[in-house]
A = this chain, B = another copy of it.
Amino acid sequence: MDEFAALCGISRPTISKYFNDPNSVRPSTRGRIEAALKEYDYRPNIYAMNQNRRLTKNIGIVVPYLADPFFAEIARVIERRCIDAGFTPTLFSSHGEPGQEIEILDTLRLLRPAGVLLAPLGRASDRKHIEAFCRDVPTILFDSNIEGVGAAFVGSDNFSFVSQTVEYLSRTGSAPCFFEMRDPANPNANKRRHAYLEMMRRLNLEPHLIKIDGTGWGFEEIGRTGALKVLKQDLLPTDTVLCSNDRLAIGVLSACHELGIRVGREEGCTIRIASHDDHPYSRFTCPSLTTAAHDYEAVSDHAVETLFRLIEAGGRLETREETLFAARLIMRASA
């Protein structure tokens, strides 16, 4: 920066000022700087800038598992929003490991981020550690909530998801059973089960929970194995299956195909399958998957906007906001 300042014949502090806000210097000065900029392609070192700045332009984005296209997609949208707003996002994935999540938060502190958008692992998360982090760094939780932690939570309204699918399925055919992992790591899964039970109660229908075994993030395989077992033993209490999430449903569809069971609402189909999330691939499954869609855009936008508000407010909001977006039922071929 010293060299560059010399090259444009302007003092370094003025250059520094320019990079913090191009409009804070006189137009003539700005012109000279920008002319020199074209010639000598200099750019300030953002990591050195962050060392002394009162407030950096860094934003941390943390997702639990990036190899899940759902998170990959939401991360992509959020990243873009941050860049467009003049921030420098850095993306981290916990890769499903609580240890990694802790490590990431510890590293993130050193970046001195203006704010963080955190989608926690869920039940596996170290609550105390995340709490401590949120006390020091302005943080918005998204996707999965941890009660009372972070300045705000932005996510989807699980009841809205399940109520729509249950209502639709039971209106157009037999009432659904609920297909889920026995021990789901994600708190949304529990909320969805409760929503299912509540909806069935309201509709005066008998609920059936099918809990399958399996751990980790390989949901498709877990769903497939679980479905094979259930289907082979003919344990399905109804011909309509509502899966907790699309990735499980993808596995169930695969199992059905393997067993020659035709899925859908067409003539000749013996089972209907629906699910939740509107996973990027759910429109390409065979048959395409009837599901309840997240309002990706709304969740991303609102999470980012809330973070910006939080940053501008100096890192504190008056009350902890919880914003939930309703789902949109997507009727496709599977149910």
A83: shortest Cβ distance to chain B, in Å? Answer: 8
Q: Is A80 an interface residue (CB 8 A)?
A: yes
Report the count of interface residues on A (CB-CB < 8 A): 46
How many copies make up the complex? 2
Checking B67, B258, B284 against A220 with a beta-carbon cut-off of 8 angstroms, the contacting residue is B284
Residue of B nearest to A106 (CB): B43
> Given the known A-B contacts A66-B72, A67-B280, A281-B281, are A253 and B286 also in contact in the complex, defined by CB atoms under 8 Å?
yes
Q: Is A75 an interface residue (CB 8 A)?
A: yes
Residue of B nearest to A97 (CB): B80
B-contact bits for A182-193, CB 8 A (1 contact / 0 none): 000000000000
In chain A, positions 202-221 with a C-beta closer than 8 Å to chain B are 220-221
Contacts of A253 in B (CB 8 A): 284, 286
**Given the complex of chains A and B, what is the CA–CA distance between A147 and B304 in angstroms?**
40
A94: shortest Cβ distance to chain B, in Å? Answer: 11
Q: Is A91 an interface residue (CB 8 A)?
A: yes
**Given the complex of chains A and B, what is the CA–CA distance between A67 and B76 in angstroms?**
7
In chain A, positions 31-84 with a C-beta closer than 8 Å to chain B are 43, 45-48, 50-51, 66-69, 72-73, 75-76, 79-80
Q: Is A144 an interface residue (CB 8 A)?
A: no
A77: shortest Cβ distance to chain B, in Å? Answer: 10
B-contact bits for A252-290, CB 8 A (1 contact / 0 none): 011011100000000000000000000011011111100
Q: Is A115 an interface residue (CB 8 A)?
A: no
Checking B47, B67, B224, B288 against A69 with a beta-carbon cut-off of 8 angstroms, the contacting residue is B67
Known: A67-B72, A79-B95. 18 other contacts (CB 8 A): A43-B110, A46-B107, A47-B50, A47-B110, A67-B73, A79-B93, A80-B95, A88-B107, A90-B90, A91-B92, A91-B93, A220-B284, A251-B284, A254-B283, A254-B286, A256-B286, A257-B286, A257-B288
